[in-house]
Amino acid sequence: MSRTTDHGTDDVVGAFLSVADLLEEPRLARLYAALSRTDEMSVSELMDALDLPQGTAYADVNRLEEAGLIEPTTTDQPHRYAAVDVDLTLTSSGTEYTITPALIDAVGRRATDDDIDAYIDRHGVGGLAIALSYAVDRERGDTTHRLMARDLDCSPIEAEAILQALRPVVQDHFDLDSSGASLADVAADDATDFTDDA
């Protein structure tokens, strides 16, 4: 569970640069994402959860704290930390997207998920943000990989691959409306569409 901190107008550029660091370094993004999914964690818990060496974990926590992206929640040792809420909207080439903890989490998975890594290489972080919005819609039963492929002018196979890769991110960060199609219905529909592509 992330916390919200108000940045004054003087801090906007600093906040942007801090978020840019997260988007460039998957390890930092993974650490931030782990904290954004929980109430708080100690450095030791982060080391265990992310399989980080002690020195790396402490250095990364210090960087994120100095950047104002996480904050200590206790004064006693060992300190516990929580993520500061990130919600930054950018416009690139006429397309607007919002950097959120879910997007940072998706970027953090780049190091361990080849589909996310390849998608970022081809479409950039802005493209991943758009794919994430399609992944949320698909999990709600509002779209399929074929519609995403048509809208974004990519292959249905590429659309399916990134939607599957982003499914855990969506499940970790979004409350899905149970009134729409079930995940089984969406998967069955997409499987049918996927075989039609062959």
Q: Which pLDDT tens digits describe the chain residue by residue (198 residues)?
A: 344 444 444 455 566 667 777 788 889 999 999 998 888 999 999 999 999 999 999 999 999 998 888 999 998 889 999 998 887 787 766 777 788 889 999 999 998 999 999 999 999 888 999 999 999 999 999 999 999 999 999 999 999 999 999 999 999 988 876 444 444 555 555 555 545 554
**Could you tell me which residues are beta bridge partners of residue 41?**
81
CATH architecture assignment, domain 9-83: Orthogonal Bundle (1.10)
Question: E strands along the chain, which residues?
Answer: 41-42, 70-72, 80-83, 88-92, 95-99
70 forms beta bridges with: 83
Closest CA to 120 of 157, 161, 167: 161
Q: What is the pTM of this model?
A: 0.75
Segments of the chain assigned to CATH 1.10.10.10:
9-83
The gap between the terminal CA atoms of the chain, to the nearest Å, is 42
